[in-house]
Amino acid sequence: MSQRSAGSQRGFTQPGALQEFCSALGIDVPQYADLQWVVEEAVHAPVPQGWSEQRDADGVASFVCVSSGAFSAQHPLDAVYRDSLAVIVRLRREGRSGAAYSAAVAEHLADRRREAEEYLEAWYAPEVAGDAPQCYYSEGLKAVSWLCPAARWEEELSVRWRVLQCAGGGAPGPPPGGPLRLAEPPAGLAQRLAGGSSCVPGAALNTINVDMPRTAGGDDEVTALLGTIRSMCVQRAAEDPELSYCQGMGMVAALFAVSSRCEEQAYARFSGYIWRLRGLWLPGFPLLVAGAALFEQLAAGRPWFQHFEQAGFEYNMYLPQAWLALFQTWLPRQARQLLLPLLEREGLAGLLATSLAVLDHLEPWLLQLEDEEDLLMGLQEFRGRAPDPEGLVEAVRAWLPRARRGALLRAPAAAAAASGAEPGSPALAAALAAEAAGLPLRRSQAALLRAERGQEPALPARPRRSKTWAAAAASAQSPGGAAEHLAAGAQAPGGAEEPLAAGAQSPRGAAEPLAASGSAGAAAAAGGLAPAAAAGGGGPAVLGGAGAAAAPHARRSQRALARSDDGEGSSRR
Amino acid sequence: MASEKEKDQYDYLFKFIIIGDAGAGKSCLLHQFIENRYKKGSSHTIGVEFGSKIIHVGGRNIKLQIWDTAGQERYRSVTRSYYRGAAGALIVYDITNRDSYNHLVNWLQDARTLARADTSIITVGNKCDMKDKRAVTFLEASRCAQENDILFLETSALTGEGVEDVFIKVARVILNKIEDGLIDPNTMVSGTHTGSQRIGSDSGGEAMSSKTCSC
């Protein structure tokens, strides 16, 4: 929804702010006291469908349009109410009343409607297969939405019409012009979208929708950000059809959302992190299997690990929850947030070091748990028994050198290999560049590299134990090359040259992951979130940057959530 | 050793699995059964989770070891290995979500092929407190269960309605099979091992297939 701010930067969301608002417009307050109801209505207006409200640590509210990513520091309808008030005041000053007033209002509405129609010209409702939810697609904005973009314009027009009509003494009713329409989808759009460019498949969207309400784990701050978290997951799934959405990613998105300054930053960090470690969530969970083998090597000497082995307590019972959901079940949020920069920087080594440090801390208690069943039940107590965050960070740092070496053991000498090879073809050059940049390789690229280096394809050797996840990895029908490639490399104990998860297990430490994350972020901004600014009409604002009053928005928050749930339900047709 | 503990005072040990679409309420159902209260602010399951409880059925103390699985298709390759050796299977759907009901047949097929041949299966229509959003009628689900020769109950993991009944009903059926000599309790689970470890030790369960019971 566009922000046509007609007054001060300050929202009039505080009760009694009419005076301030009117002064900013140069309006004589007593003269327009009859318009108090408009302000009151604005203060109590629910967040429109498709918008989500969140509050930062200081309780300052901000709003994000879930479908377009548009960000606003003010309630999305504030501008509409403010603009309507300005129109009323202008018309009164011009001395228009009766038919003249009505004509001016009709003209104003017609202008706004034209604006809506222009915006909607870019939106299509492509045909979706079966009972998949209807999604909406904008070619120009390269944006996907599962809320009809016409709906919010209709809401805006209806607010304007009602306010202007009532202020002029007229009867409220539906705004003139009838329902807004979307553009006709061009021929072949459905096929193109099904080709995987940027439409999220219905099944993934359904899972995201079903998961969102149970992503916060009772954390109010995360709950307030669910709209943002959902849009992060949808955007990520649209950009990476092979990975799409996997359960656990929502909790990763949640941690980035609460730890970031603004939505753009949250998405860039989230997407970069997922990109580096995407083998954790790919079908078959190849990086989990590979990482678990490293974990077991590193843990081999620890008493708790020997205890685990004696009890038959296997990694597949505790590592997936930790790694695929950024330790949500292991650590309180404060500790996870403190660790997050380190985890972003270190990739797999960070996950290894954190897991080992936490289990070291829990050792005295773990050793008291007698058997597998006790250990399984004990998992639920991990978070309550977590070490203090600062101490944990120290312990993780202490583990890092070994964890990095472990990760290095299997990582490719990518840079050396790349510099030694003649770029025989553009395809080879691309493969080398991808490898050097730490990007997952396509199967054809991996084969090309192996052929170039005269290597045999890696044998998919068995991991040491715990076949469950490994078997899943082996049997998973992964559509793309990255999964097999990762899995094959991961399970080759001696495969030092095998380009295993080059991105995930960076040999170059801090510098490169930052670059990788940065480029992913840039790509995200270009491909996904840039439309937010276009759609919103405003620049990227900073969460919590505006001095909007928190209290009325806090009251709205519950309704906002309820509304967004309704929206979710109605989008599933 | 553990034998002194209350947790080991039981006559039989049954392994149960809970399967079904994501968001059907599997974890909440388990939590309500174990803790007798609704799990607020729960997270979705990654991989598998575990719970156990001793119940009293037919004059016996029966220990249930229950594996709760992730519902997303992607995790199915992983959760499947936990089916093996399960004496009871709960297939949970959400009465307000038609899709989750439509997928029942897939889950049923998984349970039949991957758990014991004589696994007692119940289909559970969860969220029956949300009557105004109901998308699957009691009658049609009941009929479907009858056609597939499995048990059926509706529950609310929120209010607790029917939750304990589900577990007791399945346990009773298994107990009856044992008492009728249709199942040899010695082939039942004796630990909480995952499927990967059971492959070798489950030959007893495989041999049972010739004695398939009507359920």
Among B43, B81, B192, select the one facing A215 at the smallest CB separation: B43
Amino acid (1-letter code) at residue B135: A
pLDDT in tens, B55-112: 999 999 999 999 999 999 899 888 888 998 899 999 999 999 999 999 999 999 999 9
pLDDT of residue B16: 96
Q: CB within 8 A of B121, min separation 6: which ones?
A: B88, B89, B90, B91, B108, B111, B112, B150, B151, B215
Measured CA distances, A573 to A126, A147, A151, A421, B155 (Å): 14, 12, 16, 54, 26
Kindly state the tokens that stand for A418: 């790349």
Helical (H) or strand (E) element with B94: strand B88-94
Query: Are A285 and A243 in contact, with CB atoms under 8 Å apart?
Result: no
What count of CB pairs under 8 Å joins A to B? 101
A325:B43 CB<8 A: yes
**A530 CB burial (10 A radius; 0-12, 13-18, 19+):** middle
- A25 vs B184, which has greater pLDDT? B184
User: Is the pLDDT score of B212 beyond 60?
Assistant: no
What is the chain A residue with the closest CA to B65?
A373
CB burial string A401-424: b at 16+ within 10 A, e below: eebbebbbebbbebeebbeeeeee
B44:A214 CB<8 A: yes
Which chain B positions have a beta carbon within 8 Å of A475's beta carbon? 77
Kindly state the tokens that stand for A315: 């990694």
Q: What's the rounded Cα separation, in Å, for the pair B47 and A480? A: 22
**What is the predicted ipTM?**
0.83
Measured CA distances, A554 to A53, A76, A218, A379, A560 (Å): 9, 15, 17, 35, 10
pLDDT of residue B181: 87
Measured CA distances, A450 to A396, A414, B66 (Å): 35, 12, 46
pLDDT in tens, B104-154: 999 999 999 988 888 999 999 999 999 999 999 999 999 999 999 999 999
Flag residues of chain A having pLDDT under 50: 1-13, 15, 67, 69, 195-197, 410-427, 429-430, 433-434, 436-439, 454-467, 475-573
| E-only strand ranges, A43-139 | 51-55, 61-65, 71-72, 123-124, 136-138
Which chain A positions have a beta carbon within 8 Å of B44's beta carbon? 211, 214-215, 247, 250
What pTM, to 2 d.p., does this model score? 0.57
| Signed CA dihedral, B54, B57, B58, B62: sign only | negative
What is the chain A residue with the closest CA to B194?
A468
Taking only residues 162 to 191 of chain B, the set having a beta carbon closer than 8 angstroms to any beta carbon of chain A reads: 191
Q: How many CA atoms lie within 13 A of A415 on its CB side?
A: 5
Among B43, B51, B74, select the one facing A214 at the smallest CB separation: B43
pLDDT of residue A449: 59
Helical (H) or strand (E) element with A145: strand A143-145
Task: Using alpha carbons only, give the angle A58, A64, A67 rounded to the nearest 5 degrees.
Answer: 160
Q: Chain B interface, mutation test: which of A223, A317, A373, most B Cβ atoms within 10 Å?
A: A373
pLDDT of residue A465: 41
What is the chain B residue with the closest CA to A476?
B77
Kindly state the tokens that stand for B90: 């709960």
pLDDT of residue A131: 57
Q: What's the rounded Cα separation, in Å, for the pair A435 and A413? A: 10
Q: CB within 8 A of B82, min separation 6: which ones?
A: B17, B48, B67, B69, B194, B195
Among B23, B43, B197, select the one facing A217 at the smallest CB separation: B43
Amino acid (1-letter code) at residue A279: G
User: Is the pLDDT score of B32 beyond 70?
Assistant: yes
B154 pairs with which residues across the strands?
B125
Task: Using alpha carbons only, give the angle B124, B125, B126 rounded to the nearest 5 degrees.
Answer: 100
pLDDT of residue A27: 60
B149 touching A (Cβ < 8 Å)? no
Q: Which residue has the tokens 């038919």?
A: A99
Q: What is the DSSP letter of A538?
A: S
B102 touching A (Cβ < 8 Å)? no
pLDDT of residue B92: 98
pLDDT of residue A275: 83
Query: Are B5 and B54 in contact, with CB atoms under 8 Å apart?
Result: no
Would you mind telling me the total number of residues written for chain A in this entry?
573
Which chain A positions have a beta carbon within 8 Å of B77's beta carbon? 283-284, 471-472, 475-476
B66 pairs with which residues across the strands?
B16, B51
Among A246, A376, A471, select the one facing B72 at the smallest CB separation: A246
B77:A246 CB<8 A: no
User: Is the pLDDT score of B23 beyond 80?
Assistant: yes
Among B1, B7, B43, select the one facing A251 at the smallest CB separation: B43
